[in-house]
Structure 1
Amino acid sequence: MSQTMETTEQIQIQKYLSFFIQDEEYGIEILKVREIIGVTDMTALPKTPPYVKGVINLRGRIIPVIDLKRKFDMGDTEIKEESCIIVTEIQVLEDGDPLQMGCLIDRVSEVTNIEDSKIEPAPKFGGGLDTSFILGLGKTKDRVCILLDIDRVFQESELTEIHSAAENHGEA
């Protein structure tokens, strides 16, 4: 008597918060998202990179806000009714504490489930083009979502500079 062994393939599904910058759809792992808030007054910080919109006071915590559109060299985000700030948690160093960072975007889309098998690796462009911050391209229905590795969108030196400026502002 022979036994038939069935192997069940485990389907891995990840959840992403999808959002738009201009007409392009992006996604961030939902576990990296702390909250989504409407655009509020921001205090500009001197001597910070142009993509740093400023800081906000979120329930007593000073959070730096980054214009992702500007960070990606796509121009400045025009603040509209549907614009919002995604408060993310970024892990700079494996053994360090995570940092909170606000990302200004055009509009939020939805929380979407994407199977690992539906995620293509980031394209390689050669030369000096850095795509290390792109986890991959998620295929959902009839569209493609650029999945960001939010921990790699910023270099460690950038984060240190931004958070240092924000902390100094919070003490002022």
Structure 2
Amino acid sequence: MMDNTVKIIIFQLNNQEYGANIHQILSIEKLQDVVALPQTSDFIKGVINLRGQVTPVIDLKKRLDMKESEHTEQTRVLIASVDENVQVGLIVDSATDVIDIDAGIIEDTPEMMNGVESTYLQGVAKLENRLLVLLDLENVLNYREIKEVKETIES
């Protein structure tokens, strides 16, 4: 009975575990040099050249209004597809695991969870001894911001 399970990638932001549906993630990359761009939103760190494709990089903590921290060897970039194949990189502290969870244990989220707006959240999964906050990566950027990201790539 595997048809009611969801594959979730687990990542860390400020020592808190978050998850996202693996279908939203194209790859997980080590953080590389990011070329800063002038006149973009403060959470858009710049662009990277990922296998010949210019990919905008977003600081996920800054986007979610979290306290920023230093990057380490564990820092990763989740490459996600948003809004009809716009590819963006999301900087996270680490990406630690991929797990299968029963879709039935995913609950709706409160309006605010750890200071993160509910529009960014897909739900909360209560696992044995931990609470996993599930982000909806497609909602991390709004229409105006997606347009800004597209313009960043095209310029």
TM-score, L = length of structure 2: 0.92
CA–CA distance in 2 between the matches of 1:57 and 1:150? 21
Deviation at 1:76, TM superposition (A): 2.4
Q: Determine the structure 2 residue equivalent to 1:155.
A: 142
Q: Which runs of 5+ in 1 are unaligned?
A: 1-8
> Match for 1:105 among 92, 96, 107?
92
How many residue pairs are counted as aligned between the two chains?
A: 152
Write out per-residue CA displacement over residues 23-65 of structure 1, whole angstroms, 9 at most, x where no aligned residue.
Answer: 1111111011111110101100111111111100011100000
Does residue 134 (structure 1) correspond to residue 126 (structure 2)? The answer is: no
- Which one has a larger percent strand, Structure 1 or Structure 2? 2
Q: Calculate the TM-score normalised by the size of structure 1.
A: 0.83
Identical columns (%)? 32
Structure 2, unaligned runs of 5 or more? none
Q: Distance in 1 between matches of 2:106 and 2:129?
A: 14
Q: 2:27 aligns with which of 21, 31, 35?
A: 35
Larger Rg: 1
Structure 2: which amino acid aligns with 1:158?
Answer: E
**Secondary structure class of the residue paired with 2:54:** strand
In structure 2, the partner of 1:76 is 68
CA RMSD in angstroms, aligned pairs only: 1.7
Segments of 4+ in structure 1 off by > 3 A? Answer: none
Cα distance in 2 for residues equivalent to 1:34 and 1:155: 20
